Structure 1
Amino acid sequence: MGELSAVGVHSSQFTNFEKSPRTQFLGLQYFIKDKNIGLGLDISNDQFGIVKENNINSNISYILRLNENFRLSFGIKAGFKSILLDYSHLNIFDPDEDVFLEGFQRHTIPNLGFGLFIVSEEFNFGISSPTFYTQDYKNIFTNKFSPELVDYYATVGYNRILNSSYTLQSNILARVVDGAPYSAMIALSVEYEESILIGANFELDSSIGSLIGFKIFDNFYAGYAIDFSINNFQKYNSGSHNFFLSYGPRSLRNSDL
């Protein structure tokens, strides 16, 4: 018997900053419980400055129970990325440059990623690289591993049932992303009777934020998160806003798989 889950996200980053990033994401997952296999489809749209990027990826994962307390989940993703560079939004000082003759450039490139996750009733640990293999679109005819484009993530978390009503959740996420300094985010949240979630997060020399999520009705959840810059960039923006809506049986989020 299978179980379907879905999540939709809209993100507006660094509001009041001209051409600031905006993202829409839709993820669908189908878990085949008797085979311990998960199938998924992710679609996203990103816009930042002159760049518009669309992604579509398919995912497959397998869950292996290691013992009574721990299980291992590992998966791969494969898909394509479409990148549009619209030079009409630039102030062009030399219109004779060849790169600007058509006003825009479009590239479609492949993408391959992987992830590994170990989880128990209280602890979890994971590593992933959503863009482990891609094509350098600066040279669209050359397929190769591009270390400068690879993103790596590592996460460790701890969940603690405080009593019959409250559950404490904590998480540390470390990121190594091309073109950005190493970063780490700490998040802490409290869930009340599987119906309300309130949390806060802190990213060193970058941002602080908070979130709230709540159950709309059975298996449907909605939430909102806001982050504020705490570095020199704070004077140029009014924070980042994220909205999400999700659907999924509770068993998909617990450790009873």
Structure 2
Amino acid sequence: MMKIMTCTTSKSLVRNVFLLLGFLLVMFNKSYSQQEPQYTQYMYNIGSFNPAYVGTVENMDITGLYRAQWIDIEGAPRTIRFGVNYPFENEKMGLGFNVQSDQLGPTTNTFVDISYSYQINVSSNTKLSFGIDVGGSFLNVDFSKGSFENPGEPILGREQINEFYPTVGAGLFLYQDKWYLGVSAPNFLPGGLYNDDVAQVLDDNLQFNFIGGYVFDLSEKLKFKPAFLANFISGAPVTANLSANFLINDVLTAGASYRFDNAISGLVGFQISNSMFAGYSYDYNTNPIGQYNNGSHEIILKFYVGRGSKTKKDKIENLKGKPKQIDSPRFF
């Protein structure tokens, strides 16, 4: 009877959490924030857009990412990201740190934020993490980098703009060892914080990100993980990404991704050691802009601090002549 009551309570808690989230979606539908940069390897980069993820990792990890979009188009987006996820020893809390620079034409937007997460057990093997991040964006617009002929816009009367605006975001992350579901919003602050000049450069509605994935064990040496990422921005079409990756021998990752009405992508990754992962993706545009560029490139490096250190179990296996080579990654 106690097990039934516990299961019912857990399901009720999860339902109430997502009902609350739906309420927030309605409440903040008219507010404004920055539009997040686009990632193809989002499944390895969750901490960049969901603060609830930062405490769910098994060990501290450090991520570096570079994305060059629409090669051969002058002024096309370029994104650089550095992030840290740090789980506390109590396995309930975590801290994260992000620095992200997004360049587009004459505009450079640098985001800096600190994340905090706290997780609870909703069942014996299911955890729900709550996260919040606080930071800000340094906006620089340098019109000397190009030719802009539009005298009707008062902003063009200034050659350079340097502004700062604060950001406050939040997220939820529900997961087990084999699957996860998450939702986040990078900024809830209203658009009234922008001045008249900046509003003409950043006129982006509130964005919500939904992510999920599942890991299938096809065999002892082969895992399959389908995943999705959907971005909702008020007043704009939904951006949906579907991906399918295979993990071979816990070392090699290979797969493909499709961004609806936008691009198809190839992904490859390699677990270089217990403490280092490298990934690469190439996007080919399926929309009309594909005629004018040579695709997009994205490189990611992940370092796992403390991972692969010898445990008591490892030492016993070594004595038996079975050294542990690569830790089995969680795959998200």
Mapped pair 1:211 → 2:267: yes
RMSD of aligned Cα (Å): 2.8
> Normalising by the residue count of structure 2, what TM-score does the alignment of the two structures yield?
0.69
CA contact (8 A) 1:107 1:140 kept: no
Aligned residue among 92, 101, 124 for 1:36: 92
CA contact (8 A) 1:79 1:110 kept: yes
Structure 2 Cα separation of the partners of residues 178 and 121 of structure 1: 33
Greater Cα shift, 98-107 or 10-19: 98-107
Structure 1 Cα separation of the partners of residues 89 and 98 of structure 2: 20
Deviation for aligned residue 1:135: 4.7
Distance 1:80 1:52, change over 3 A: same
Deviation for aligned residue 1:98: 5.7
Size of the alignment, in residue pairs? 251
CA contact (8 A) 1:110 1:134 kept: no
SS of 2:187's partner is strand
Aligned residue among 69, 72, 83 for 1:16: 72
- What is the CA deviation profile of residues 209-232 of structure 1, one whole-angstrom value per residue up to 9, with x for unaligned ones? 011110122220111111111011
Which residues of structure 2 form unaligned runs of 5+?
A: 1-57, 309-326
CA contact (8 A) 2:155 2:197 kept: no
Distance 1:233 1:102, change over 3 A: closer
Partner of 2:83: 27
Partner of 1:159: 215
Distance 1:3 1:155, change over 3 A: closer
Mapped pair 1:241 → 2:331: no
Structure 1 Cα separation of the partners of residues 160 and 193 of structure 2: 14
Partner of 2:145: 89
1:153 maps to a residue whose letter is N
Structure with the bigger percentage of helix: 2
Deviation for aligned residue 1:193: 2.2
- What is the CA deviation profile of residues 153-209 of structure 1, one whole-angstrom value per residue up to 9, with x for unaligned ones? 112222111121111101121111367421211100000122111110011111100
Which structure would you say has the larger Rg? 2
> Normalising by the residue count of structure 1, what TM-score does the alignment of the two structures yield?
0.88
**Percentage identity across aligned positions?**
26
CA contact (8 A) 2:108 2:141 kept: yes
Structure 1 Cα separation of the partners of residues 193 and 143 of structure 2: 16
- Larger RCO: 1 or 2 (CA < 8 Å, sep 6+): 2
Deviation for aligned residue 1:252: 11
